[in-house]
Amino acid sequence: MIPVSAKTMKELDSMAASKGLSTAFLMENAGRAVADKSLEVSAQDKGKTFLIFCGKGNNGGDGLACARILKEKGSRVAVYLVDKEWEFAGLAHANLRLYRDAGGHADEINPPDTARMNEVLKEGLVIDAIFGTGFQGSVGGIHKNIIELLNSSNLPILSVDVPSGLNATTGEVKPVAIKAKWTVTFALPKKGFYINEGPSHVGEIRIVNIGFPPELIDKAIEYEKTHV
């Protein structure tokens, strides 16, 4: 299983859609995989709170699916929206609604919330669902502030698919990225995990197939070899 680029992961998603495999189905499986790993690493601390930081995109949707699943399992969950709630659309919005329908509460973070976040970040497991594999460029604004706060909190962090701020293809960080203790990544490992600043940010990597047929995984690997 070779590491692949963000471009190849986008191609895999396109191939899955052409086969009728819904993004909602994949997102539900992604949320369950992250919930399972979160419970596994917290097995010795039954009262642990899961602090889930969600962005407005599909990575945030994965985090919100995870939040709902953890809550349904009886876990203590706190969700923080790193983007404005009105910006959540598509499956991210749908999963926010499902989480609330299950009795969950989500707080929108408004800058400057440094004092409140320092109080929040005293205990628990942080689940990072801010940016996903498609992230490129530089981290700024509230996203930079939150990532810096999470990294300085000394709490363990589990990242969804890729540590937020890390370029999944190049392993570059501009200027900050989550320093995860664990990364639950989907379908295939990402090139950026193993080069440049990637190794110092990903922690322990767990690769989970969230429902892609094996033949599509093979096609994605071939695409990586021939097109990237």
Between CA 59 and CA 65 the distance in angstroms is: 10
- The half-sphere exposure of 164 on its side-chain side, counting CA atoms within 13 A, is 32
Are the C-beta atoms of 153 and 166 separated by less than 8 Å? no
Residues of the chain with pLDDT under 70: 44-47, 112
Terminal Cα-to-Cα distance of the chain (whole angstroms): 16
Residue 216 lies inside a defined structural domain of this protein: yes
Residue 52 lies inside a defined structural domain of this protein: yes
Between CA 205 and CA 161 the distance in angstroms is: 9
Residue 204 lies inside a defined structural domain of this protein: yes
pLDDT score, position 204: 97
Q: In this structure, what CATH number is given to the domain that contains residue 156?
A: 3.40.50.10260
pLDDT score, position 43: 80
Entry pTM: 0.96
Strand blocks (E) in 2-156: 49-54, 76-81, 106-108, 125-129
* Chain centroid, CA 23 distance in Å: 15
Task: Give me the domain span that covers residue 142.
Answer: 6-227
| Tens digits of residue pLDDT in 38-76 | 999 998 666 689 999 999 999 999 999 999 999 999 999
Residue 168 lies inside a defined structural domain of this protein: yes
Residue 166 lies inside a defined structural domain of this protein: yes
Residue 32 lies inside a defined structural domain of this protein: yes
Residue 1 lies inside a defined structural domain of this protein: no
pLDDT score, position 45: 65
Total domains present in the chain:
1
Burial class (CB in 10 A: 0-12, 13-18, 19+), 225: exposed
